[in-house]
């Protein structure tokens, strides 16, 4: 018996469809059973004939019913035993969940930006202009390398500020650094099976390489960057490095180490992937030129991102490909569409061309420098001889080694007990047996000066006074 509830918010045709479907699935209505005509069923249920026909048409489309010419509608032959099987639903097990980040009064999360210094009004204004003036592009798929106007602005910026030698045709715009690295992996696996990788290093990129089938060879990080001798002995034909502010140690690769690495690439005919993710943030020291711009002979892929300096949610990064792999890239990805929405590309293009990006960088650099200096001063005042700090003068975080009896896990736990969230170094090691377990990461980009001072005072209480 079919029943219709007119007080139910569910549409009547859906009620009818589901009841007939369930009767067929349970075997109550068997194969070749003839259904009432739409006219008759509508009369019996006091509903519209169109409603009945809509339910019938859906059931016919899904294969529950079939028609016979000049005869009617019938139940299709189905293996109803399949529908009658009982599939056990896994019971929920109690899960111990970590407290959410906003449960802590002070959060030293690295990479989190302070929304108060992001020019949302300007961005929104330009975005609305693009919606009004770029309608033809918005309804198009776009080119696989990204819009030429944006690539021209990026080429101009990296040439002027990072010494990168390139033209817009070498630039590929992609939906974040990880996406760009995944595109590179398809090129690498054709010529290299092993890639050298800083250890400790950026774990998300390491995962992308491993998922692509590449063998990741961990290479030690020294005080001035990756160990080139160890890299040379590894047999790798490619390497991923973060020379401007090594993640997560904060080491800045010296010019002598950069020259050694470039010489390795030339001698081995190898590829360097230079992730310059925090190149914008330099304090109290002059920027060191990018690897890509130092030697035209070496094959260097330059990676850049707008996540740390503008908005992570834009999911916009870029890479500058050397001529040696540019043609191969175009051959493989010629039929691909861009992964970044056209309207965001055009907005960023105008944002850069009209000078807003440079002004924004100057503002956030001034703010970040004050926070960087404040954090260092507070750490030295409160913890002094108990700590060693690395990663100073660049980036948006520092690494702090605490020289007492507490382990990394205990340092994090005790900080949490006083309302301060700090982050482990352990997670970024591949060879965890090489790690002494005494270092935490402190990001300062989302805390103001008073918050930094108060949080460090609490860290002293948690680590030294308990």
pLDDT tens track for 393-439 = 888 899 999 999 999 999 999 999 999 999 999 999 999 888 888 89
Other beta carbons within 10 angstroms of residue 318's beta carbon come to 24
In this prediction, residue 101 has a pLDDT band, given cuts at 50, 70 and 90, of low
Domain boundaries, the chain: 12-83, 103-115+362-464, 120-358
Q: Which residue has the tokens 């507490």?
A: 406
Tokens of 410: 């205990």
Is 12-83's fold the same as 120-358's?
no
Q: Could you read off the pLDDT of 38-55 as tens digits, one per residue?
A: 999 999 999 999 999 999
* Of the options 3.90.1150.10, 2.40.30.10, 1.10.150.20, 3.40.50.300, the CATH number for the domain spanning 103-115+362-464: 3.90.1150.10
Distance CA 33, CA 232 (A): 76
**CA angle centred on 171, ends 169 and 172, rounded to 5°:** 120
Angle formed by the axes of helices 12-25 and 49-62, nearest 10°: 40
Q: What is the CATH number of domain 12-83?
A: 1.10.10.10
User: Cis link prior to 248 (omega < 30° from 0)?
Assistant: yes
Give first-to-last CA distance, the chain, whole Å. Answer: 73
| Higher per-residue confidence, 444 vs 6 | 444
Fold of 120-358: 3.40.640
pLDDT of 91 > 80? The answer is: no
pLDDT, tens digit, 9 for 90 and up, residues 271-290: 999 999 888 788 877 777 89
Which pTM was predicted? 0.80
* Whole-angstrom distance, CA of residue 79 vs CA of residue 291: 65
Mean pLDDT of the chain: 89
């Amino acid at each position: 018996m079919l029943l219709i509830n007119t007080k139910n918010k569910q549409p009547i045709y859906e009620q009818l469809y589901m009841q007939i479907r369930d009767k067929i699935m349970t075997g109550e209505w068997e194969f070749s059973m003839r259904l009432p005509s739409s006219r008759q069923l509508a009369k019996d249920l006091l509903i519209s004939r169109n409603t009945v026909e809509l339910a019938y048409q859906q059931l016919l489309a899904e294969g529950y019913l079939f028609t016979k010419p000049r005869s009617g509608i019938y139940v299709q032959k189905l293996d109803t035993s399949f529908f009658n099987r009982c599939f056990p639903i896994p019971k929920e097990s109690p899960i111990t969940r970590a407290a959410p980040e906003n449960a802590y009064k002070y959060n030293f999360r690295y990479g989190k930006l302070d929304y108060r210094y992001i020019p949302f009004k300007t961005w929104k204004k330009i975005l609305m202009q693009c919606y009004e003036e770029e309608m033809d592009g918005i309804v198009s798929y776009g080119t696989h390398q990204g819009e030429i106007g944006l690539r021209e602005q990026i080429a101009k910026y990296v040439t002027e500020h990072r010494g990168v030698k390139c033209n817009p045709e070498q630039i590929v715009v992609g939906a974040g650094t990880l996406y760009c690295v995944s595109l590179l992996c398809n090129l690498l696996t054709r010529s290299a099976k092993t890639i050298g990788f800083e250890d400790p290093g950026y774990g998300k990129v390491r995962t992308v390489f491993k998922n692509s089938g590449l063998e990741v060879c961990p290479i030690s990080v020294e005080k001035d960057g990756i160990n080139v001798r160890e890299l040379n002995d590894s047999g790798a034909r490619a390497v991923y490095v973060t020379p401007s502010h090594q993640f997560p140690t904060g080491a800045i690769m010296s010019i002598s180490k950069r020259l050694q690495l470039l010489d390795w690439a030339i001698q081995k005919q190898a590829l360097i992937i230079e992730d310059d993710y925090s190149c914008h943030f330099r304090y109290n020291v002059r920027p060191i030129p990018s690897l890509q711009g130092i030697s035209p002979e070496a094959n260097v892929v330059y990676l850049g991102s707008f996540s740390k300096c503008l908005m992570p949610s834009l999911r916009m990064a870029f890479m500058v490909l050397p001529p040696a792999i540019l043609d191969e890239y175009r051959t493989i990805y010629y039929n691909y569409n861009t992964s970044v929405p056209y309207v965001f590309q055009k907005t960023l293009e105008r944002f850069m061309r009209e000078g807003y990006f440079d002004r924004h960088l100057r503002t956030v650099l001034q703010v970040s420098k004050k926070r960087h200096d404040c954090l260092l001063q507070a750490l030295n005042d409160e913890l002094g001889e108990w700590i060693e700090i690395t990663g100073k003068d660049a980036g948006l975080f520092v690494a702090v080694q605490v020289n007492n009896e507490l382990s990394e896990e205990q340092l994090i736990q005790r900080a949490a007990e006083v309302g301060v969230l700090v982050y482990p170094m352990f997670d970024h090691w591949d060879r965890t047996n090489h790690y002494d377990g005494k270092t935490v990461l402190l990001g300062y980009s989302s805390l103001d000066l008073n918050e930094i001072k108060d949080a460090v005072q609490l860290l002293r209480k948690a680590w030294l006074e308990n």
